[in-house]
A and B are shown apart, each in its own frame.
Chain A
Amino acid sequence: MENALGITRLKNLGLPLVIIVGLLLLGLPLFAGQFLSYLMLTFFAYAITVIGFNLLFGYTGLLSFGHALFMTVGAYTAAFLTSSFSLPYMELILVVAVIVSTLLAALIGAICVRYIKIYFAMLTLAFGMLFYTFLLKFYYMTGGDEGMRVLRPFLLGIDFSETPKMQFLAGSYYFYAFVILAILTFVMWKIVSSPFGLCLKAIRDNPEKAEYLGVSVKKYRWYAFVISAAYAAVGGALLAPAVGQVDPGLTYWTQSGTLVFMSLLGGFEHFFGPMIGGIVYILLQDKVMSLTSYWRFIFGAILTFVVIAAPGGIAGVVSSLTKRRARGG
């Protein structure tokens, strides 16, 4: 039986599948090439970001068009701590990224959650672009448009500077990022299946009624904003060492658009939808970019197709197919 939480759906169909996919991803570096593992590593960073993003978008009904800002906060945290402060400890980077993004999101969110729909989207976009300009103009701190280098971090206090770059990224760092993704996915699952998660969905479906049932609509939207920002910061902090370089382009509005694209492509109504969108986006981008330099054109066409023909995204199509099969059988 379908319900708002999608819990039964996951228990019946999804859980074994999630475990299988999880194990495949975990074992990937053992049987796939380093490059594919590296692609999947960037996916892990985006996956963490989009499941956080979707708490706001899919579950609370607020479309942020500036969410790359918080990913960038995480990425620059990694750059500052490794390059400027010589504190290359990944755990420290993650903690600082979460603290900084939480504080920043608390401020920005307090303003943005007073608005909804296009006004919310435009405000978040404006904050994202404001941050972009800040990174660009304060070049003596941020390196301007050249950005900053991100040095290789210590994982659990272990120095990997002797390990070849790809071996590190497709090896220890890969597993490290995977574990963080697994933990944060589980935590997000707990959040969306909690009484708090139920209230968020009530706000998404009918904020006026939710208010009459005693739900603090603005406060809960603000909580969701802050939590999703913290997730994005972790995603950004994990992405930075993989790329080895950060620049203001990370917070440009098209980057926020990428997060929206991933969520739409995979299906924002499903818990795992945005992650599916993320993995398809990254693999497709790699394929299409190697074939043509007009990859944005192809992606535009795909987005148009999804919005018109499959508004539920990939997850929506799969779930309606399985439902039809279940009915037919």
Chain B
Amino acid sequence: MGKDNGNVILSATDVHKSYGDFRALDGVSFTINEGEFVSIIGPNGAGKTTLINVLTGLVRPNAGNVVFKGTDITGIGPEKLSKMGMARSFQLVNIFPNFSVLEFLMVAVVSRLGKGTRFFSSLLSDRQITEGAMEVAQLFGLDAKKDMLTKNLPQGEKKMLDVASAFALHPEVILLDEPTSGVSTSDKNKIMETLVSASKKIGIKSILQVEHDMDLVFSYSDRVIALHQGKILADGTPATIEQDEEVVCTVMGQKECFKIFSSLQSGER
């Protein structure tokens, strides 16, 4: 799906964010349309996570604003945003260590169903909650470990659980901060397949992900936004970004860049 097709669901306008003298975001503007899978790429320190933090209202920008479904959500905070239909997962594992897998997912389901203030009803007898959590556990292949304590899960599955909990909110837009980091290369494609099929089943309209693995970025995204030193370096389809030597070299470093472009020239790719 192209950039100008469909309705704009999320937009950032001239977003600035500094930490002391360091300009993490320096005038970032872009839009995400309904139905798009957008990847944000960039070298370390480019401002990718800060951008996600601003978009999800955790960090208030120094200037600029973020609009989600026509409402200004700048600095609104994650809780309200999740109720409006935006969810995120984290770069580093972010779980409830003493919860079982199913209990973890139930937190998201309880909040989606607005049942958090049921003070006296039994959690485990509420089939809407338990089945809602089971449904997501199955989508992410975690159903066999539903009773396992999350702190005892292998690293990759902790990460999946974090992502799964964001999906359990049934959001319209989901922001994934490096969903495949810390996962073996062979598992990365499987995770991306899971993400895509789960978002179809749940009815997620748009996905915005931060990703380092360029093969994944180019094979799954509708659009790629490259960040560098807090600014947008390029914004276009994977095909155009892939050909952009400046972008690839900035994002992947000179060594990788040389490999790709020399192989491109010799026609191996």
Query: Chain A interface (Cβ within 8 Å of chain B)?
Result: 1-5, 7, 187, 190-191, 193-199, 201-202, 205-206, 208-217, 220, 223
Tell me whether A206 and B95 are in contact (CB under 8 A): yes
When chains A and B are docked, how far (Å) is the Cα of A212 from the Cα of B162?
Answer: 11
Tell me whether B165 and A3 are in contact (CB under 8 A): no
Name the residue in B87, B94, B107, B168 with the highest tally of chain A Cβ atoms < 10 Å from its Cβ. B107
When chains A and B are docked, how far (Å) is the Cα of A4 from the Cα of B103?
Answer: 8
Tell me whether B77 and A194 are in contact (CB under 8 A): no
Given A212-B82, A214-B79, A214-B82, is A194 in contact with B122 using a C-beta cutoff of 8 Å? Answer: yes
Tell me whether B107 and A193 are in contact (CB under 8 A): no
When chains A and B are docked, how far (Å) is the Cα of A202 from the Cα of B82?
Answer: 16
In the complex, besides A187-B120, A195-B129, 15 extra interface pairs with C-beta distance below 8 angstroms are: A4-B96, A193-B124, A195-B106, A196-B117, A196-B119, A197-B123, A198-B103, A198-B106, A198-B110, A199-B111, A205-B99, A206-B95, A209-B165, A212-B56, A223-B117
> Interface readout for B167-182 with A: 1 if CB under 8 Å, 0 if not?
0110000000000000
> Interface readout for B144-181 with A: 1 if CB under 8 Å, 0 if not?
00010100000000000010011011000000000000
Query: Which residues from chain B contact A194 at a C-beta distance below 8 Å?
Result: 118-123
Tell me whether B110 and A195 are in contact (CB under 8 A): yes
When chains A and B are docked, how far (Å) is the Cα of A210 from the Cα of B77?
Answer: 12
Query: Which residues from chain B contact A1 at a C-beta distance below 8 Å?
Result: 100, 147
> Interface readout for B103-133 with A: 1 if CB under 8 Å, 0 if not?
1001110111001111111111010010000
Query: Chain B interface (Cβ within 8 Å of chain A)?
Result: 56, 77-79, 82-83, 87-88, 90, 94-100, 103, 106-108, 110-112, 115-124, 126, 129, 147, 149, 162, 165-166, 168-169
Where chain B touches its partner, the secondary structure class is: loop
Query: Which residues from chain B contact A211 at a C-beta distance below 8 Å?
Result: 77-79
Tell me whether B94 and A190 are in contact (CB under 8 A): no
Query: Which residues from chain A contact B88 at a C-beta distance below 8 Å?
Result: 212
Tell me whether A198 and B107 are in contact (CB under 8 A): yes
Residue of B nearest to A2 (CB): B149
Name the residue in B83, B121, B166 with the highest tally of chain A Cβ atoms < 10 Å from its Cβ. B121
Query: Which residues from chain A contact B117 at a C-beta distance below 8 Å?
Result: 196, 223
Q: How far in angstroms is the closest Cβ of chain A from B126?
A: 7
When chains A and B are docked, how far (Å) is the Cα of A211 from the Cα of B117?
Answer: 15
Q: How far in angstroms is the closest Cβ of chain B from A241?
A: 29
Given A202-B107, A209-B95, A209-B96, is A196 in contact with B124 using a C-beta cutoff of 8 Å? Answer: no
Among the listed A193, A199, A205, which residue makes an inter-chain contact with B122, where contact means beta carbons less than 8 Å apart?
A193
16 A–B contact pairs at CB < 8 A?
Answer: A2-B149, A3-B147, A4-B96, A5-B123, A190-B120, A195-B116, A196-B117, A205-B99, A209-B162, A212-B82, A212-B166, A213-B111, A213-B169, A214-B108, A214-B112, A215-B116
Name the residue in A7, A193, A213 with the highest tally of chain B Cβ atoms < 10 Å from its Cβ. A213
Q: How far in angstroms is the closest Cβ of chain A from B149?
A: 7
Name the residue in A199, A201, A216, A220 with the highest tally of chain B Cβ atoms < 10 Å from its Cβ. A199
Residue of B nearest to A8 (CB): B147
When chains A and B are docked, how far (Å) is the Cα of A194 from the Cα of B82?
Answer: 22
Query: Which residues from chain B contact A202 at a C-beta distance below 8 Å?
Result: 96, 99, 107
Q: How far in angstroms is the closest Cβ of chain A from B144?
A: 14
When chains A and B are docked, how far (Å) is the Cα of A7 from the Cα of B102?
Answer: 14
Tell me whether A199 and B96 are in contact (CB under 8 A): no
